[in-house]
Every structure is written in structure tokens, then in C-alpha cells.
Amino acid sequence: KQAFPRRGPTSAHDESSPSPSPSHRLLQAKKSTSVLHLFIKIANVSYMMQEFNMFLEWSERSFAETYQAYQSGRAECDPIENWYAKQLRQYDEVTIPLLRQLERTDLLPHRTKELLANATANRDDWEQTGEQWVDQFLQGTDDDDSARISMDKASKVSMV
């Protein structure tokens, strides 16, 4: 079973296969466009399905940027109040559902399973330790530490 079956003749010599109908070509174009949109959405949240320390690094950077925007009056919501819950919602409502959707396409089946396992594990780790990480993120912004997590901090959490 192929995700994208061959369309029409593969060469000028293969004329035994009929040309696909316009409706078939339209359906294939819609499928291709849908898959492309799915990949774009997944790319937007790809940091959430990498190793936990990579997720933490990008989450902290995003937190610092959002916190700085709040401090300077460019954002209305203080990320300290909702960062933990926001990350969980992002996993539950966006990241994991996108990966399940990718899983249904039969494209990259092994890689999709790996990414889904990482995202699920990261979500569980964040649920257990995320509030402490938000405190760490805040300390990093207070110290004007440019929101970088050292690998040893992240490895301590990933061992939990």
C-alpha cells in the first residue's frame, strides 16, 4: 500500500496505463496539499517532539521572549501565570493530534512512531516537572541569562 500511488504512465513507452482522470488528478492534488499543510503544522511544533532537553531549551527561549514582551508592555498576559498549562494544552490539543494525523497517512511510519513516543514522554515529563522548570525559566530571565538551559540541568530531569 503506497501513500502516493503512481500516477499515469511512467514513461512514453508505458501507454498501456490510462491517463488519470481530471477528478483523480484533483483528488491527488488535494491529498498532496493536505500532507504538505500537515508537515508545515508539524514543523511549527517540532521542538515539542525532540528529546526533552531540546524541548526545554526551546520552551525556555519562547518563555523568555514572551516574558520580555510582557515586561515591556507588548503582551497582556504574564507567561508565569499560564506557561505550564499552556505547554500541556499545546501537547494535548496540537502536537500529539498532529502526529496521530501523520500516523494515519502511512508516511514515515517508523519516524512518526518515534516522534509520537517522544512527544508523549515529553508531555508526561512536563506534567511532572514543568512547574519547577517555569521557576527555573523565570530565574534565568531575572539573571538576564539569555534563556539558555545547560545540558546538565536537562539531563537531571530526563533521568527522573
Please give the single-letter amino acid code of residue 87: Q
pLDDT at 149: 41
pLDDT at 143: 59
Residue ranges covered by each domain of the chain: 49-158
pLDDT at 153: 46
117 in helix, strand or coil? helix
Grid coordinates belonging to 58: 526551546
Report yes or no on whether pTM surpasses 0.75.
Answer: no
pLDDT at 142: 67
Please give the single-letter amino acid code of residue 88: L
Which spans in 49-108 are helix H? 52-71, 79-90, 96-105
Taking only the tens of pLDDT, the chain with its 160 residues reads 555 555 555 544 555 667 778 777 877 777 888 888 999 999 999 999 999 999 999 999 999 999 999 999 999 999 999 999 999 999 999 999 999 999 988 888 899 999 999 999 999 999 999 999 999 999 987 654 443 444 344 444 444 4
* Angle of CA points 47, 100, 81, to nearest 5°: 45
